[in-house]
């Protein structure tokens, strides 16, 4: 039996994770964390998620709870994720990270923590999205430099980082297959451009509206034809179930930094 801790227990992703854990054999929720100002502190996590009492009270900190879980699933904010990675490093706890918008320095801290414990970090834990990463790289390698590449994504109005981590990962998949450096060829804003589209450019477009869970499309456009690879998430359960799958896998690894491609055997 794997004991699981989650952050953001009162959020939409947190509730999806609690539901996914409850429906998975061999896993149980033992720690549920929210920020210190949350009205849910002390409330039963199962009841807060609408699933019924599970006798796990929501807490504001992992301190003194290291013996209560095996794997921490963290879909929160960069500052909190880095702090939690340091906690897991000190106590030898495994970790699944779905937080996006991490800076280079923050990623480096997580990489250093993975020298002491096993961490799975991904921009998206959906099985379908990770398949799209593979398909995008394959399409890029087949279509080559003849196709213009544009990546579009849409999310709910409350998502802060843009483009999404998933869109950037799709860009990395395409750029890697084409032998390009995404930092050098990515185009995020065309408002002030005064020249035609560069042949090596990978363009990004972003929508933030309503309650869109997450839509992503990679467009390859060449003379006379277009190829589109699209993934649409209709529920956060797709991400939650992927994170649970990653948790089972990472719990068996000794140390190291992995991603969902490792979990699914797509590398």
Based on the domain organization, do 164 and 258 belong to the same domain? no
Based on the domain organization, do 15 and 112 belong to the same domain? yes
Based on the domain organization, do 71 and 105 belong to the same domain? yes
CATH number at residue 51: 3.40.50.720
Instruction: Give me the domain span that covers residue 197.
Output: 127-233
Dist CA 129 CA 137 (whole Å): 13
Q: Counting Cβ atoms within 10 Å, is residue 188 exposed (0-12), middle (13-18) or buried (19+)?
A: exposed
Based on the domain organization, do 158 and 100 belong to the same domain? no
Catalytic residue among 91, 134, 156, 159: 159
231 catalytically annotated: no
Dist CA 221 CA 147 (whole Å): 5
Based on the domain organization, do 43 and 166 belong to the same domain? no
**Summary mean pLDDT of the chain:** 95
- pLDDT 10s digits, 7-18: 999 999 999 999
- pLDDT 10s digits, 107-140: 999 999 999 999 999 989 999 999 999 999 999 9
pLDDT value of position 49: 85
CATH number at residue 150: 3.30.360.10
Based on the domain organization, do 194 and 63 belong to the same domain? no
Is the pLDDT at 101 greater than 90? The verdict is no
**Nearest by Cα to 245 from 85, 67, 124, 80:** 124
pLDDT value of position 32: 96
Catalytic residue among 155, 156, 252, 267: 155
Based on the domain organization, do 24 and 71 belong to the same domain? yes
Distances (CA, A) of 257 to 71, 107, 202: 14, 11, 28
Dist CA 96 CA 15 (whole Å): 16
Question: What does residue 103 show for φ and ψ, rounded to 5 degrees?
Answer: -80, 170
pLDDT value of position 110: 98
pLDDT value of position 97: 98
Structural domain tally of the chain? 2
Dist CA 126 CA 132 (whole Å): 10
Range 152-158 average pLDDT: 97
Range 220-233 average pLDDT: 97
Is the pLDDT at 194 greater than 90? The verdict is no
Is the pLDDT at 40 greater than 90? The verdict is yes
The reported pTM is: 0.85
247 token code pair: 């948790």
Strands 202-208 and 148-155: what pairing?
parallel
Based on the domain organization, do 115 and 240 belong to the same domain? yes
DSSP assignment of 116-153:
TSEEEE-S---HHHHHHHHHHHHHHHHHGGGSEEEEEE
155 catalytically annotated: yes
Based on the domain organization, do 71 and 149 belong to the same domain? no
- pLDDT 10s digits, 43-97: 999 998 888 889 999 999 999 999 999 999 999 999 999 999 999 999 999 999 9
For tokens 């991400």, the residue is 239
pLDDT value of position 51: 86
Distances (CA, A) of 183 to 4, 160, 175, 204: 36, 20, 9, 12
Share of the chain above pLDDT 70, in %: 100
Whether 27 contacts 70, CB under 8 Å: no
Based on the domain organization, do 102 and 52 belong to the same domain? yes
Based on the domain organization, do 103 and 148 belong to the same domain? no
Dist CA 220 CA 61 (whole Å): 46
Based on the domain organization, do 256 and 202 belong to the same domain? no
Is the pLDDT at 193 greater than 90? The verdict is no
pLDDT bucket at 100, cuts 50 / 70 / 90: confident
């Amino acid at each position: 039996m794997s004991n699981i801790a989650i952050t953001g227990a009162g959020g939409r992703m947190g509730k999806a994770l609690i539901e996914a854990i409850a429906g998975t054999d061999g896993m149980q929720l033992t720690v549920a964390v929210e920020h210190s100002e949350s009205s849910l502190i002390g409330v039963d996590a199962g009841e807060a998620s609408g699933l019924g009492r599970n006798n796990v009270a929501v807490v504001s900190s992992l301190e003194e709870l290291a013996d209560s879980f095996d794997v921490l699933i963290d879909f929160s904010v960069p500052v909190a994720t880095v702090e939690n990675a340091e906690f897991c490093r000190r106590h030898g706890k495994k970790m699944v990270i779905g937080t996006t918008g991490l800076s280079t320095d923050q990623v480096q801290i997580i990489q250093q923590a993975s020298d002491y414990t096993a961490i799975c970090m991904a921009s998206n834990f959906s099985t379908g999205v990770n398949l799209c990463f593979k398909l995008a790289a394959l399409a890029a390698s087949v279509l080559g430099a003849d196709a213009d590449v544009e990546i579009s994504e849409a999310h709910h109005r409350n998502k802060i980082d843009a483009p999404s981590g998933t869109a950037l990962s799709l860009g990395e998949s395409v750029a890697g297959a084409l032998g390009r450096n995404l930092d050098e060829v990515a185009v995020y804003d065309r408002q002030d451009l005064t020249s035609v589209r560069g042949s090596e450019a990978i363009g990004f477009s972003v929508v933030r509206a309503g309650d869109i869970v997450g839509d992503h499309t990679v467009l390859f456009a060449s003379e006379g034809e277009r190829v589109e690879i699209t993934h649409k998430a209709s529920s956060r359960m797709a991400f939650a179930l992927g994170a649970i799958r990653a948790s089972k896998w990472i719990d068996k690894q000794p140390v190291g930094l992995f991603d969902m491609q490792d979990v699914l055997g797509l590398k």
